[in-house]
Structure 1
Amino acid sequence: MAIGPADAQEATLRLLSTRSATATICPSEVARMLAGDGGDWRAMMPVVHDGVDGLVAAGTIRLSWKAVPMARRAGPYRIGWVG
């Protein structure tokens, strides 16, 4: 079974739910979760980016880099809850 953007969205929200409301996560954390132990997490990054784009469009998450808000994904970024 292939891993898709919906899987990345679920993993993103699951990881965020384990952190404080103001904490952020790195997209590589999501990729590592999807790849599993010893898996190629870098190969998961395109799927993670697609999932993140969907969550941003839905207004579910926010993106930032070095505490500066980002309207869309570009270069390195962190993921956090909206609000």
Structure 2
Amino acid sequence: MDETDPRLSQRLEKAIMSLLDRRADTASICPSEVAREVYDGDDDGWRALMEPARHAAWRLANHGKVEVTQGGKAITKTQTRGPIRIRRTHR
């Protein structure tokens, strides 16, 4: 998967927003859910989309559309240590 492909980036960003739209306002999603949503196959090839899904989450966070969290707290990219979750920005 070419994570620099703008079409893939757009699909991942749309998948993040779509998954969040289907959840309660306070719910968060995992990048793996995004990767599975976008992957077009039945095997575990979605794993190749994990890093691009994380990048898509950070792009959306930079635009104020989502927050990236760990332990339920919003973090910055430089604070990231381990698994992340994605949630809507609190208003």
Asked if Structure 1 and Structure 2 have the same fold, meaning a TM-score greater than 0.5 normalized by the shorter chain, the answer is: yes
CA RMSD of aligned residues (A): 1.7
| Matched AA of 1:8 | L
* Unaligned 5+ runs, structure 1: none
Count of residue pairs brought into register by the alignment: 82
CA shift digits 1:41-62 (9 cap, x unpaired):
1011122122112101101000
Q: After superposition, give the CA deviation of every residue in 1:24-44 in whole Å (9 maximum; x if it has no partner).
A: 000000000111341411011
Counterpart for residue 32 of structure 1: 36
> Aligned residue for 1:20?
24
Residue pair 2:58, 2:68 contacting (<8 A) in 1 also = no
Moved over 2 A (4+): 72-75
Q: Tell me the distance in 1 between the aligned counterparts of 2:55 and 2:35.
A: 12
Aligned residue for 2:88?
81
CA distance in 1, matches of 2:55, 2:69: 17
Larger radius of gyration: 2
Residue aligned with 1:62, SS: strand
Q: Given residue 50 of structure 1, which amino acid in structure 2 is its aligned partner?
A: H
Cα separation, 1, equivalents of 2:30 and 2:40? 16
Q: Percent identity over the alignment?
A: 29
| Aligned pair partner of 1:68 in 65, 69, 73 | 73
Cα distance in 2 for partners of 1:59, 1:17 equals 16
Distance in 2 between residues matched to 1:47 and 1:67, nearest whole Å: 22
User: Deviation at 1:68?
Assistant: 2.2
